[in-house]
Structure 1
Amino acid sequence: MSSIKPDPTLIPRFNIDYGMKDFVYSLTNLKTEVDITELTKLFANSSIGFTNSGRTSLYVILKALNLPAHSNVGVPLYCCPSVFDAIIQAGHKPLFLDIDPDNYTISPEHLEEKIDETEAVIAIHTFGRPADIDKIQKIAGEKPVIEDCAHALLSKYKGKLAGTIATAGFFSFRTGKYISAGEGGMITTRNPEIAENIKKEIEKLPEPSGTDEIKHTIKTCARSTLYHRPWFGMISLPLGSRIEDKVDLMNKYSFKTAKIRNTDLQIATKKLQDFQEKVKQQRKNSQYLLENLKNIDLKLPFENKDTYCNYYLFPIQVNGQSRRDEASEFLRKKGIDTAKLFSKTPEIAKNRYGYKDGCQNTERIAENIIIVPNHYTLSKKELDQIINEIKMAG
């Protein structure tokens, strides 16, 4: 990436929705017990547990399943490498699966080839796009299927909420994710035996201290502020691009298991009260982008039959890595930040996690993918700007 010049008008690639009101609310309710009754109703009366992160939630689920030691856990190669870390920390090994190039989720065909080698499967609802859970579960048979819903809060598959369909599911409340509560993970299951095991595993996790809660809340508020205009384009992106390979700014790779902070749980439950309206607006923004970009030479996302996508992110495939990189650079110079999400994962997986080959769709998409802003806070004027500049870049 070339040196980035400060731009106070730059539209951030993601929406980090954590403000001063959230900061004050979380500290005011630091010791208040959280009522999760409405949450259990929303998630089809599932048993619900909480941890400090999505990756810890996955770790807890894997421990609760009591798989044989060093089991192969099937997981899409196209994802955040923190998923691989959680598998390893739980005492198992990631077995890499390719994805459907149209939907960015597990390829059922590749899973069928590898199912005899696996003891459990992680189905990631990437970008909020539901994986074909029925087909995945049919292939898995008696083997557990875990829904990774870090992107998929309120997405639906055949009318059922993501996270309530398979053996267990988990969500992420981390700042930068859809709900931006700070950090935190939520586990859902409707299996009583697994629910009891999950509860026992969560009880083993360390409790965050009051000092940690306060420090974390201050850090979350500061991080969110710096991800909004004008600070994002003036400070965060120019500085972050220089040090991102040296400093884990967004806590992507560190793995510390713990119970959820009460401050994060307070904000998550509060934000869920009006979250459906935000999803509706984000879907509306995404459909506006789709309608106005449909006649250009780019591969746009689409909604599969029987699914309801929350459109957490808006992926576009540009034909070829060099063209993708040129488009990304062009858009940034025009005031629109983008992300090449998970583009480094195949290489990271080769260097750190033992991936060799076999996931051709993933490797190709990693070179072509670009994420453009679609968040619910964008105005029509900003959406039109994004559309016009993508047309110029394409």
Structure 2
Amino acid sequence: MEYQIPLFQLNFGEEEIQAVTETIRSKWISTGPKCEELEQLFVEMMQVKHAVSVSNCTDALHLACLTCGLQPGDEVLCPSLTFAASVNCVRYVGATPVFCDIVGPGHINIDPEDIKRKITAKTKAIVVVHMAGFPAMMDEIMTIAREYHLKVIEDACHGPLSEYKGKKLGTIGDVATFSFFSNKNISTGEGGMLITNSDEVAEKARLLRSHGMTTMSYQRAKGHATAYDIVELGYNFRMDDIRASIGCVQMRKLQEDLEKRIRVRNKYVNELAEVKGVVVPFADNKEFVSNYIMPIVLVDSTKEKRDRVRDAIHQAGIQTSNHYPAIHKFSIYKDYGALLPQTEYVADNEITLPMYAALTDEQIEFIVRIVDRAIHG
């Protein structure tokens, strides 16, 4: 069906079209000057030492695991309430994901207390996902990481420019990743970025993203090198300049877009405060965040009730989603035997409402009226 109010709205205009056109006319469309420009924008805006552009966030996560030295026999603590790539990346390097619960419906990020309970002699890293762009409890998590000498990988794909106590998400752990998938705050269709303050991690990531080659085509075309060696078993994780040119435009529009999303979020929170039977995760958050999505969780509910509520909302012309089905319940992971009651409740009772900068107060009021009617009608 065609929705009157979609889940998200692509923030594209003539600037993106012009950027692509100029890049094609430049005759350089693979990894080159636009990728370098996008990386530099990330360095400046995220206040980090290094940014490495890649073909998608999944590849960035794979590189994060590789550069953190994870290998078969290692255990990595990770949430289940996230997209599968946040956990699949652990398997790519032969390590074993160990699922941790979330705090609860009001804070749907990984629980530091459950992290501590599940540390063993084999634990080598923690994957932290900042759901919806809201920060996990990073002080507690970093304290645990330091105590047990664990690497911290921040999956910040929901949170470009989001902050935690004055620091940008993605700059707190050892390495972080961002997504440029079509519905993200920064959209290039596909694409991603790895950021780090470690010279060693950045150098290895750049090497592994392009077959383990000591120089890339753009460097050789510019006369900076005439030959190359292959010194590691690398991958083809490169981004192209066409997508990077879109990303540069998106980055320059990001701050304004996020400020508008704050207005949308505040309006939602105020309206939803009058709806009984609903929890708004991170309702008390005062940090600057990306507001990538607008999740709500039904109280004293079931998956069947949640689905009925979603169907009623859809019938009113409003698109919703679910972020996310619990990973440990998927066929590929169900034999791991994880018991995560908070995650399972939220996965079964969360509804993602429309969120984008252009939503009007009238539309938000209409959405919340429909939600209220769907729950109680």
1:123 is aligned, of 107, 121, 128, to: 128
Residue type at the aligned position of 1:263? I
CA contact (8 A) 1:18 1:181 kept: no
1:111 is aligned, of 110, 115, 132, to: 115
CA contact (8 A) 2:19 2:249 kept: no
Deviations 1:351-379 (A, max 9, x none): 44643122111111111100001211212
Secondary structure of the structure 1 residue equivalent to 2:279: coil
Residue type at the aligned position of 1:288? K
State the partner residue of 2:226.
Answer: none
Residues 170 and 75 (structure 1), Cα distance of their counterparts in 2 relative to 1, 3 Å cut: same
Residue type at the aligned position of 1:276? Q
Residue type at the aligned position of 1:26? V
- Paired with 2:128 and 2:255, the residues of 1 have a C-alpha distance of 23
Higher mean alpha-carbon deviation, 312-321 vs 49-58, is at 312-321
CA contact (8 A) 1:78 1:342 kept: yes
Residue type at the aligned position of 1:357? A
State the partner residue of 2:64.
Answer: 61
1:29 is aligned, of 23, 28, 35, to: 23
Which structure 1 segments of 5+ residues have no match? 1-5, 210-255
Deviation at 1:153, TM superposition (A): 0.8
State the partner residue of 1:215.
Answer: none
- Paired with 2:273 and 2:284, the residues of 1 have a C-alpha distance of 17
Q: 1:1-394 maps to which residues of 2 (within 5 A)? A: 6-7=1-2, 9-18=3-12, 21-30=15-24, 31=28, 33-34=33-34, 35=37, 36-101=39-104, 102-116=106-120, 117-141=122-146, 142-204=149-211, 258-297=237-276, 298-304=278-284, 307-318=287-298, 319-343=301-325, 345-348=327-330, 350-352=331-333, 354-394=335-375
Residue type at the aligned position of 1:261? D
Deviations 1:67-123 (A, max 9, x none): 343311111011111222222112222111111112211100100011224211111
CA contact (8 A) 1:123 1:131 kept: yes
Deviation at 1:125, TM superposition (A): 0.2
Q: Percent identity?
A: 24
- Paired with 1:287 and 1:257, the residues of 2 have a C-alpha distance of 42
Residue type at the aligned position of 1:307? E
- Paired with 2:82 and 2:216, the residues of 1 have a C-alpha distance of 28
State the partner residue of 2:225.
Answer: none
- Paired with 1:27 and 1:69, the residues of 2 have a C-alpha distance of 45
Higher mean alpha-carbon deviation, 102-111 vs 305-314, is at 305-314
Residues 20 and 356 (structure 1), Cα distance of their counterparts in 2 relative to 1, 3 Å cut: farther
State the partner residue of 1:227.
Answer: none
Deviations 1:11-46 (A, max 9, x none): 111233345652452243142712243431222242
Work out which of the two has the higher radius of gyration on C-alpha atoms and give 1 or 2: 2
CA contact (8 A) 2:72 2:96 kept: no
- Paired with 2:136 and 2:284, the residues of 1 have a C-alpha distance of 10
CA contact (8 A) 1:164 1:189 kept: yes
State the partner residue of 1:242.
Answer: none
Deviation at 1:144, TM superposition (A): 0.6
What TM-score does the superposition give when structure 2 sets the normalisation length?
Answer: 0.84
- Paired with 1:353 and 1:175, the residues of 2 have a C-alpha distance of 29
Residues 257 and 392 (structure 1), Cα distance of their counterparts in 2 relative to 1, 3 Å cut: farther
Higher mean alpha-carbon deviation, 39-48 vs 198-207, is at 198-207
Between the two proteins, the alignment pairs up a number of residues equal to 341
